Amino acid sequence: MENKEKLEKIIEGCLRNNRRSQEELFKLFYGKMLPVCLRYIPDRDSAQEALQEGFIKVFEKLGGFDYKGSFEGWIRRIIANTAIDAIRKSKKDPFLTDNDNDFKLGASDPMVEKEEIEHMDLKAEIAMEAIQKLSPGYRAVFNLFVLEEYSHKEIAEQLGISEGTSKSNLAKAKMNLQKILNAKFLSLK
C-alpha cells in the first residue's frame, strides 16, 4: 500500500473514532510535531502537554481537512497554534512585552555541553538552543515568520498584535539571537 493511501485509510479510521487509527496517526506525526511545540515552549513537559492538546484538536477538526494541501502542514499549523495558545494561557500578555533578559550565559556545565555537541548536529543544536532562550513573544514571532513562513499580517492576527509589533519583535528576536550566538561561539573557543 502506498503511503498516501495508508494515510487516507488512517484518516478515515480516525473519522470513525477508531482508537487504533488515532493511535497510528499520533505515532506517525508525534516525532515531527514535538519539535514544533519545542520551538515555542522550551520546557519539554509543557511542550508535550501542548502537543497532546494539539492532537485532540487535530482529531476534532479532522472532518475539515479537504485533502487539497499537505496533511502534515495542516497538522503542523494546528500544533503551532495550540503551542501559542498554551503560551497565552501561561502568561498575561507574552507577545506584547519587551523582555530583554532573554538569555543567561554560563547556565550549563561547559564540559557536559561539549560532550553533547559532539554527538549532535552542531548547527541545529546551537540554533535551537538560541531560539529557546528568546522571550516567549520574540520566540513566537520568530518561529511563525522564519520557520512556519507566516506573513506579518497573519502573525498579527494570530497573536492579537499589530503588524508593526510583529516586525519589531522579529527584529529584536534577530538581534537577541545574534547576541546569544556570538556569546555561544566565544565560549566554544
Residue 71 sits in the same domain as residue 138 = no
Q: At what angle do helices 122-132 and 163-188 cross, to 10 degrees?
A: 130
Residue 116 sits in the same domain as residue 80 = no
- Helices (DSSP H) in 41-162: which residue ranges? 44-61, 71-90, 110-118, 122-132, 136-142, 152-159
- What's the pTM value of the predicted model, to 2 decimals? 0.59
Which residues span the domain enclosing 125?
110-188
For the stretch 8-22, pLDDT in tens is 899 999 999 999 999
For the stretch 140-153, pLDDT in tens is 899 888 888 889 99
Residue 45 sits in the same domain as residue 122 = no
Residue 83 sits in the same domain as residue 127 = no
71 falls within a domain: yes
Residue 86 sits in the same domain as residue 115 = no
Cβ contacts of residue 65 below 8 Å, gap of 6+?
Answer: 11, 71, 74
- How far out from the chain centre does Cα 98 lie? 21
Structural domain count, the chain? 2
